[in-house]
Chains A and B, each alone.
Chain A
Amino acid sequence: MPDASHSFDHLPQGVGVGYKPQHFQALCDDPGPVTWLEIHAENYMGDGGRPLAQLRHLSARFPVSVHGVGLSIGGEGPLDPEHLSRLKRLVDWLNPASFSEHLAWSTHDGAFLNDLLPLPYTADKRDQVAAHIDQVQQTLGRQMLLENPSSYFAFAESTVSEPDFLHQIVQKTGCGLLLDVNNVFVSATNLGFSPQDYIDAFPLDHVGEIHLGGHDDDTDDHGAPLLIDSHGREVADPVWALLDYVLARTGSRPVLVEWDTDVPDWPVLAAEAARADTALGVQVG
């Protein structure tokens, strides 16, 4: 594969969207407030054809963030060397502005479960995750960002809070963090803690990117609210408020709107991007 013709070395402190092929033409014609794009790494690991041609075209115009969903950084076993080399091939070709992955696992014993599965926050897990991040950063020759997950339950064996766990990993590996504000709100509602307290405890100095997305409402066995991180609708109002709370403490950051299921026509996503742009504008002004 030829190298992408242009590359950007960092994400702008503006609004990005998760790229969907059905929005290709709209983005080329008039991206509105959108200044950068994020792709799911695994969708661009084919050998050629339309996906890579579109990406080559877009990457000449927009800084691109590569967001992995299949590395299984929180897995008990070693990282899949084949998958890691596929990722390296993509990153070497695209030279993206950023690479990020999740604090989650998805592969065990050769089977990939196609979801971001949770792990307990213990010293053992911290060392395991840190070793995997070291391996990723060494292989790719760059810093990566690690994203906080959505939680639907807690592990009895956890010994530290999620912000502390992430902070320890940052200190051990030098990685940065991707703060998903919707995930914070979902986890806080599901587990009954204050999302503002979580943000106050979060190592905000290390946040290189912020995610926003929509969630669904459900209830658990006891009728307590159970929010589900579905990325299938508009960002909820309390999540916008939490974004303001975060930006007031971090200043401007690259902010991404994710919409992965029931993907809407471009104007709907562009309106969400415009709302995020306004939230960022308040910081500048």
Chain B
Amino acid sequence: MTVTQPQFRAAIFDPAEPVPASLLDGLGQPAGRRFNVYRNNVAVSLTEAMHTAFPIITKLLGPANMGGLAGLFLRAHPPASPLMMHYGEEFPAYLADLPQLAHLGYLPDIARLELAMRRAYHAADATPIDADALAAIPPEDLGDTRFMLAPAVQILRSDWPIHDIWQFNTVSDAPKPRAIAQDVLITRPEFDPVPAPLPPGGAACLLALQGGQRLHAALERAQPEADAFDFGPVLGLLLQGGAITQLTVKD
């Protein structure tokens, strides 16, 4: 009698599956609950990975509810790679499909924000330009300039106050979240990602810049969302976050 790895795997994920019969203790008796060591290791380690990846969702739902959810999630979406830093990518969509959490409509976007923070943390390093490089561009050329953004830069759009919720759950004395839609820019000045709320039009503009468009085209993208879009504050966030790695006027 032999046990195959698919049988072993099935028995790990489903505690109702019998323990494979060819597994024995030192006296030749059936392994019984000895097999549960692996069931526990897999469930506990993947549940911990979810707590680590989604600290705000864990706080919002409570650790016990999050643990239960992680147990269901790991069976629906076992990790596709040995890199735990990527585990949970399907969690926002999984949350969005759960009818029992439908009344917490902002949860999927908070999960997306937490994934984006983690991506920013592990993103490739890049050397930012200094403010002088920007000042050196003649004003008449600015509209034709392309902004290369650092790999750590993440831009999220949301119908929910995701930055307020993030702040309320991570910063003491933060104000209660307002009932507004918030787009978020994440930069990584050194090693720790920093999220900042974007003004209306900011996300559209930055997504266009990130996609390689020139500034004048990116500003046009912002117009439908903000009558008098001001690039200044958004540029300030980029410079503060060390998020611009190259400026190209002619190419």
Residues of A in contact with B (beta carbons under 8 Å apart): 42-43, 45-53, 69-72, 75-76, 80, 82-83, 86, 105-115, 117, 120, 152-157, 190-193, 218, 220-222, 224, 226, 228
A47 near B24: Cβ-Cβ < 8 Å? no
| Min CB gap A20→B, angstroms | 14
Indicate which residue in B2, B12, B25, B125 contacts A220 across the interface (CB closer than 8 Å). Answer: B25
For B125, the chain A residues whose CB sits under 8 A away are 48-49, 52-53
In whole angstroms, what is the CA distance A82 to B80 when docked? 12
B217 at the A/B interface (Cβ < 8 Å)? no
| Min CB gap B58→A, angstroms | 18
Q: What would 14 A/B residue contacts be, using CB atoms closer than 8 Å?
A: A46-B85, A47-B124, A48-B125, A49-B122, A52-B125, A72-B82, A114-B79, A115-B38, A152-B37, A153-B23, A156-B22, A157-B2, A190-B25, A190-B34
Residues of chain B in range 1-59 having any CB-CB distance to chain A below 8 Å: 1-6, 8-9, 12, 22-27, 29, 31-35, 37-38, 41-42, 45-46, 49
B123 at the A/B interface (Cβ < 8 Å)? yes
For A192, the chain B residues whose CB sits under 8 A away are 26-27
A69 near B82: Cβ-Cβ < 8 Å? yes
A105 near B122: Cβ-Cβ < 8 Å? no
B1 near A115: Cβ-Cβ < 8 Å? no
In whole angstroms, what is the CA distance A46 to B80 when docked? 16
A111 near B78: Cβ-Cβ < 8 Å? yes
B26 near A154: Cβ-Cβ < 8 Å? yes
B81 near A155: Cβ-Cβ < 8 Å? no
A113 near B78: Cβ-Cβ < 8 Å? yes
* From A43, A117, A192, residue with most partner B Cβ within 10 Å: A117
**A152 with B34, Cβ < 8 A, contacts A107-B82, A113-B42, A114-B49 known:** yes
B122 near A108: Cβ-Cβ < 8 Å? no
For B22, the chain A residues whose CB sits under 8 A away are 120, 155-157
Task: In the A-B complex, list the 9 residue pairs whose CB atoms are closest, starting with the nearest.
Answer: A70-B82, A46-B122, A192-B26, A153-B31, A47-B124, A111-B78, A50-B191, A48-B125, A191-B26
Interface size of B as a range: 35 or more
| Min CB gap B21→A, angstroms | 8
| Min CB gap B115→A, angstroms | 14
Known: A109-B6, A113-B78, A152-B34. 13 other contacts (CB 8 A): A42-B84, A43-B84, A46-B123, A48-B125, A70-B82, A80-B81, A105-B5, A109-B9, A114-B45, A120-B22, A157-B1, A221-B32, A221-B33
B151 at the A/B interface (Cβ < 8 Å)? yes
**A193 with B26, Cβ < 8 A, contacts A83-B82, A113-B9 known:** yes
Residue of B nearest to A42 (CB): B82
B124 near A154: Cβ-Cβ < 8 Å? no
Residues of B in contact with A (beta carbons under 8 Å apart): 1-6, 8-9, 12, 22-27, 29, 31-35, 37-38, 41-42, 45-46, 49, 78-85, 121-125, 151-152, 188, 191-192
For A113, the chain B residues whose CB sits under 8 A away are 9, 12, 42, 78-79
**A220 with B45, Cβ < 8 A, contacts A42-B82, A111-B9 known:** no
| Min CB gap B24→A, angstroms | 5
A156 near B1: Cβ-Cβ < 8 Å? yes
Residue of B nearest to A216 (CB): B37
For A48, the chain B residues whose CB sits under 8 A away are 122-125, 151-152
* From B26, B32, B33, residue with most partner A Cβ within 10 Å: B26
A47 near B81: Cβ-Cβ < 8 Å? no
In whole angstroms, what is the CA distance A55 to B123 when docked? 15
Indicate which residue in A49, A51, A106 contacts B82 across the interface (CB closer than 8 Å). Answer: A106
A47 near B122: Cβ-Cβ < 8 Å? yes
| Min CB gap B202→A, angstroms | 25
Indicate which residue in B23, B78, B83, B188 contacts A49 across the interface (CB closer than 8 Å). Answer: B188
Residue of A nearest to B120 (CB): A49
For A190, the chain B residues whose CB sits under 8 A away are 25-26, 34
B9 near A154: Cβ-Cβ < 8 Å? no
Residue of B nearest to A2 (CB): B125
In whole angstroms, what is the CA distance A112 to B25 when docked? 26
A220 near B34: Cβ-Cβ < 8 Å? yes
